[in-house]
Chain A
């Protein structure tokens, strides 16, 4: 039986998140069934149903040379800030 991935929006404005999957022969059955499995308690604002084969997984993100400059942890301002403050203080004396 084909598999449909279910994405769920809990409240308006929130992102859709993956919630699970259903075995269903086609989109119509998937809708009827996912609606109850992921919405019978009014817990979902909306659902997206996607055939599993339409989902492409991407899992490999090489960063061999540690390109830290693009991230917040690539910056340590402490030492320079310390020097700059000292110099500013020295100028005003």
Chain B
């Protein structure tokens, strides 16, 4: 994959997993976890923004004004997973594959790309700690081990095709923006 494609895939993954993770705002298993998990979601949206800014003049336009088939996110992040076992399983699997990608980008010939990748990596280190902490606690819980097995096939899924879940996500994500195209918000 050319670097630009990798970057778009990274940004789209971070945008969509950040969007999915923000669905837990206010309803995480404990209030302490709610606050921590929301920081993860914000970091991810922040990463997406930083990478979109590398790729385009208007990061918001790139993030929100494409048709669903133009996104390059992984099927793993598109899934709506409103139970904790699946959510943690996804975070855990995502952080593992994301790590390899970020490490490659830190070696980029482009110093701007490498710099952003390093910043992302510093924040992702905490996401990894969080995912590993939970994965370790849930390791004997069948809900979790089953969720891992269910989600594993999605990790290397086809990025050119959207899952059925994406349509609803895209619709909700873009509805306000589409109501006044080109407007300032």
Task: Give me the interface of A with B, judged by CB distance under 8 Å.
Answer: 1, 22-24, 28-29, 32-33, 35-37, 40
Contact = CB atoms under 8 A, between A and B. Distances in A.
15 contacts: A23-B30, A23-B32, A24-B32, A28-B133, A29-B32, A29-B133, A32-B36, A32-B129, A32-B133, A33-B35, A35-B36, A36-B35, A36-B36, A37-B32, A37-B36
B162 interface: no
A10 to B, nearest CB: 19
A78 to B, nearest CB: 57
Name the 10 nearest CB pairs between A and B, nearest first: A33-B32, A36-B36, A36-B39, A36-B35, A22-B32, A33-B36, A37-B35, A40-B39, A32-B36, A28-B133
B78 to A, nearest CB: 26
Contacts of A33: 32-33, 35-36
Nearest to A24: B32
A37 B39 CA distance: 10
Contacts, number: 27
Contacts of A23: 30, 32
Give the interface size bracket for B toward A: 10 to 19
Majority-rule SS of B interface residues:
helix
Nearest to B39: A36
A37 to B, nearest CB: 5
A40 B36 CA distance: 9
A1 B126 CA distance: 24
Nearest to B40: A36
A35 B129 CA distance: 12
Nearest to B33: A33
Contacts of B39: 36, 40
A50 to B, nearest CB: 16
B130 interface: yes
Nearest to B129: A32
A72 B151 CA distance: 71
A66 B79 CA distance: 71
A29 to B, nearest CB: 7
Contacts of A1: 30
A27 to B, nearest CB: 11
A22 to B, nearest CB: 5
A88 to B, nearest CB: 68
Contacts of A37: 32, 35-36
B30 A32 contact: no
